[in-house]
């Protein structure tokens, strides 16, 4: 297992987002979260429902298993907490507020990004996690410039309707796994990937992190590694996102 790459550890960490999820719709956005969801479906989360994002439910190899038009997702799945979306984040702060909209002052931003898209509805209606391939202070900021995905502090301010299904679960990066398992629901360093130190992560984060219970991120076992390399990503597209 000594030849396991950092990105393969990240794929497994994204798979672990869906452990014990049961029969829910997984909506992984981006390559590494998608590989993780497929790996989870092939191993410890066989009831996971994978969607193409439009109308079909797929198995881990891309074969159509069922029909679920996006209107049904919005009407039935999203408002009742039966979905786990993994989004990206151009910025994320210590309470899990996410920005994919704009960098700089909202009235006159320095850079226009995607807009808030579905992030507000995702974060207040069901479990949400984040993947970022480059852990650094430009992403992990004291305060996001625009709140796209709602963090724990803002959900509390919005009241009961916003916190009923609100569940910012974890953040997976090229260095570590983080969660919000602290009394005030601020970000906690859950594990560092092999070869990464706690200090490496702290230096690349603009705000303090709870480091009271840090472990090492689990390596894929032999079968999980085979599935990553031979089944879910035989063309090694993962290496383009997080170089070895």
Phi, psi of 142 (to 5 degrees): -60, -45
Q: What is the pLDDT along the chain (244 residues), one digit of tens a residue?
A: 469 999 999 999 999 999 998 888 888 999 999 999 999 999 999 988 887 555 545 666 666 565 555 555 555 455 555 789 999 999 999 999 999 999 998 888 898 888 787 888 888 888 999 999 999 999 999 999 999 999 999 999 988 888 888 999 999 999 999 999 999 999 999 999 999 999 999 999 999 999 999 999 999 999 999 999 999 999 999 999 987 7
How far apart (Å, rounded) are the C-alpha atoms in residues 187 and 3?
Answer: 31
How far apart (Å, rounded) are the C-alpha atoms in residues 224 and 8?
Answer: 10
Phi, psi of 217 (to 5 degrees): -60, 135
How far from 228 is each of 133, 211, 216, 220, CA to CA, in Å? Answer: 18, 30, 20, 9
pLDDT in tens, 166-209: 999 999 999 999 999 999 999 999 999 999 999 999 999 999 99
Residue where the block lists tokens 């960098």: 103
How far apart (Å, rounded) are the C-alpha atoms in residues 144 and 123?
Answer: 15
Residue-range domains of the chain with CATH:
6-239 (3.40.1080.10)
pLDDT in tens, 53-62: 555 456 666 6
């Amino acid at each position: 297992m000594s030849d396991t790459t950092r990105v393969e550890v990240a794929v497994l960490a994204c798979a672990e987002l869906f452990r014990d999820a049961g029969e829910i719709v997984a909506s992984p956005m981006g390559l590494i979260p998608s590989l993780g969801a497929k790996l989870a479906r092939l191993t410890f989360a066989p009831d996971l429902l994978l969607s193409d994002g439009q109308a079909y439910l797929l198995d881990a190899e891309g074969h159509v298993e069922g029909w679920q038009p996006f209107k049904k997702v919005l009407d039935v799945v999203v408002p009742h907490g039966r979905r786990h979306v993994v989004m990206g984040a151009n910025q994320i702060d210590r309470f899990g507020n996410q920005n994919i909209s704009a960098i700089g002052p909202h009235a006159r931003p320095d850079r226009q990004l995607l807009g808030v898209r579905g992030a507000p509805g995702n974060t207040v209606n069901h479990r949400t996690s984040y993947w970022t391939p480059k852990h650094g202070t430009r992403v992990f900021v004291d305060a996001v410039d625009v709140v796209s995905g709602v963090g724990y502090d803002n959900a509390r301010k919005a009241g009961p309707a916003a916190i009923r299904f609100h569940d910012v679960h974890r953040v997976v990066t090229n260095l570590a796994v983080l969660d919000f398992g602290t009394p005030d629901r601020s970000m906690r360093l859950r594990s560092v990937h092999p070869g990464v130190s706690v200090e490496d992560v702290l230096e690349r984060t603009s705000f303090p992190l709870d480091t009271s219970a840090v472990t090492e991120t689990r390596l894929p076992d032999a079968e999980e590694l085979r599935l990553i390399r031979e089944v879910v990503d035989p063309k090694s597209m993962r290496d383009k996102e997080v170089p070895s």
